[in-house]
A and B are shown apart, each in its own frame.
Chain A
Amino acid sequence: MERAVIEVRNLVKRFSGKTVLRGLNFDVQPGEFVALLGPNGAGKTTFLRILASLSQPTLGHVRVAGYSLPRESAAVRMRLGVLSHMPLLYGDLTAQENLLFFGRMYGVKELARRIDEVLVMTGLSARRDDLVRTFSRGMQQRLAIGRAVLHDPEVMLFDEPYTGLDQDASLMLDKLLQTVAAQGRTIVMTSHDLARAEDLATRFDILSRGTIAASTSRKQLGRSNLLAFYKKTLAA
């Protein structure tokens, strides 16, 4: 039996008296692409930050890629690629230098070759020696994906990746995310954009008031609308 890549049991997160996540349970199998949806303040970003080892659970068990958090967070981070709405890039360095830096931080082997691959994948080879602060938001986000896959992570977390992107940039991001997904990585993405989520993801979980209120897969949805499902869940 294949072990779940992400296992979450009874996750509780409290911030100074306020309980944001109440006994969350969540499993993701290898290769799944889960879209985590929900209204603002539902706890999506909080949850993702816990999975990313940036935040610590108050109670409960979390395992990612076979390692438990927060105890074995370094091992988890090695297998994790994160894309946020902030680019997490250094504006005063070139694209190449940014990738060089993160490659070193992750101990990526054959780094030069890997950087070339990533630049080709993200279509930024021509701009490799340009400073990141001259990049448009869309290009920065593409480079950010490059950074996120540089160390060949098993699991990827995307936190509202389409924030601030125009149509063209969003379309490019779509393609990139599809490429990344096709590489067999396990992905959890939070998004406000239901239409996009519907196109990319294989599974849709709705986070409401601190727990997973409902979960459905593309197969289960069939012809019906994700939006309708979403509204119905939240109305309940």
Chain B
Amino acid sequence: MDEILSKESSEHPALRQGEAGTGRSTSLAAPRFLRAVGAIAWKDLSAEFRSRELFSAMMVFSLLVILIFNFALELDISTRRTVTSGILWVTFAFAGTLGLNRSLSMEKDQGCLDGLLLAPVDRAAIYFGKAASNLVFMLIVEAIVLPVYSFLYGINLFHPGLVVVILLGSIGYTAVGTLLATMSVQTRTRDVLLPILLFPVVLPVLIAAVKASSAILAGDDPTSIMPWVNLMLVYDVIFIAAAFMGFDFIVQE
């Protein structure tokens, strides 16, 4: 019997006896891509909400860092206002590497990366799935750190503008971070290497995030905030593109 040789193949003819027609997909590429991204993100989030190992590690770490800053810098009230955004972003940057490392080493350790690579989906779907779940973890941690910081230091951090800035900054960070973490987890030096690779390259978005956050907290007018937001947008777009294109090269053999 003839095989259907089209790439977007439909039902594969049942060559064998026994099994009733079961799970042959007829979907087109695009929905399959999105479904794969969703499945990977769902998998990461489910696993994490059950064990909460990653999450508690990031959480505790962030709070400790904030605590250390408090003693290390010994700030008075007015100075505290000016360094708040800096402290917050340093905290997020370091907690972020914890999350990224854990998220990718989980795949590497059990050989699960192969399992993902064996699926009939675009490599980019793996990238976007992992990046999405990494982003969610980071945002959750940030969502908890902000109120805690507000509470500890009596500084109101609830500005809608700040939420936007944190979102844009986190997107840029996880976009590059996911790519670089996938690389570092495949080297001998593993975890240690990620911050070394990541920080020099993610600097622009951190700078912009800190400047924009400061401006928002100080109540500056939008004209001084917009250039930074624009920079973050540009960075995010460029690096999401660069990262998912580069991802292919670092998972193939």
A and B touch in the complex (CB under 8 A): yes
Question: Could you tell me the dominant secondary structure of chain B's interface residues?
Answer: loop
Partner of B23, one of A55, A86, A92, A103: A103
Cβ A105 vs Cβ B111 within 8 A = no
Is B159's CB within 8 Å of the partner chain A?
Answer: no
Q: A82-B118, A105-B36, A114-B23 given as contacts; is B18 within 8 A of A183 (CB)?
A: yes
Chain B: residues with Cβ within 8 Å of the partner, total of 44
Report B49-71 CB contacts with A as 1/0, cut-off 8 Å.
Answer: 01100000000000000000000
Nearest B residue to A107, CB-CB: B25
Partner of A77, one of B19, B50, B118: B118
Cβ B118 vs Cβ A184 within 8 A = no
Interface residues of B in 66-124 (CB under 8 A from A): 106, 110-112, 114-122
Cβ B111 vs Cβ A88 within 8 A = yes
Is A104's CB within 8 Å of the partner chain B?
Answer: yes
Chain B residues closer than 8 Å to A182, beta-carbon distance = 18
CA distance A88 to B35 in the complex (A): 20
Looking at A147-155, A213-221, A227-235, the stretch in contact with chain B turns out to be A147-155
Cβ A88 vs Cβ B9 within 8 A = no
CA distance A101 to B22 in the complex (A): 17
Is A195's CB within 8 Å of the partner chain B?
Answer: no
The smallest beta-carbon distance between A78 and chain B, in angstroms, is 4
Cβ B111 vs Cβ A110 within 8 A = no
Nearest A residue to B53, CB-CB: A92
Report A1-23 CB contacts with B as 1/0, cut-off 8 Å.
Answer: 00100000000000000000000
CA distance A108 to B22 in the complex (A): 8
Cβ A93 vs Cβ B47 within 8 A = yes
Nearest A residue to B2, CB-CB: A3
Cβ B110 vs Cβ A90 within 8 A = yes
Nearest A residue to B8, CB-CB: A75
Report A63-78 CB contacts with B as 1/0, cut-off 8 Å.
Answer: 0011100001011011
Chain A residues closer than 8 Å to B48, beta-carbon distance = 92
Nearest A residue to B36, CB-CB: A105
CA distance A79 to B9 in the complex (A): 11
Is B252's CB within 8 Å of the partner chain A?
Answer: yes
Cβ B3 vs Cβ A3 within 8 A = yes
Interface residues of B in 5-59 (CB under 8 A from A): 5, 7, 9, 12, 15-19, 22-27, 32, 35-36, 38-40, 42-43, 46-48, 50-51
Chain A residues closer than 8 Å to B119, beta-carbon distance = 77, 102, 105-106
Partner of A80, one of B3, B115, B118: B118
Nearest A residue to B1, CB-CB: A2
CA distance A109 to B206 in the complex (A): 44
Cβ A104 vs Cβ B25 within 8 A = no
- Residues of B whose CB lies within 8 Å of any CB of A are 3, 5, 7, 9, 12, 15-19, 22-27, 32, 35-36, 38-40, 42-43, 46-48, 50-51, 106, 110-112, 114-122, 252-253
29 contacts between A and B (CB under 8 A): A53-B118, A66-B5, A72-B7, A74-B121, A77-B120, A88-B118, A89-B112, A90-B43, A90-B47, A90-B110, A90-B112, A92-B50, A93-B43, A93-B47, A102-B119, A104-B35, A104-B39, A105-B39, A105-B120, A107-B25, A107-B35, A108-B22, A109-B22, A114-B23, A131-B50, A183-B19, A184-B17, A184-B18, A185-B16
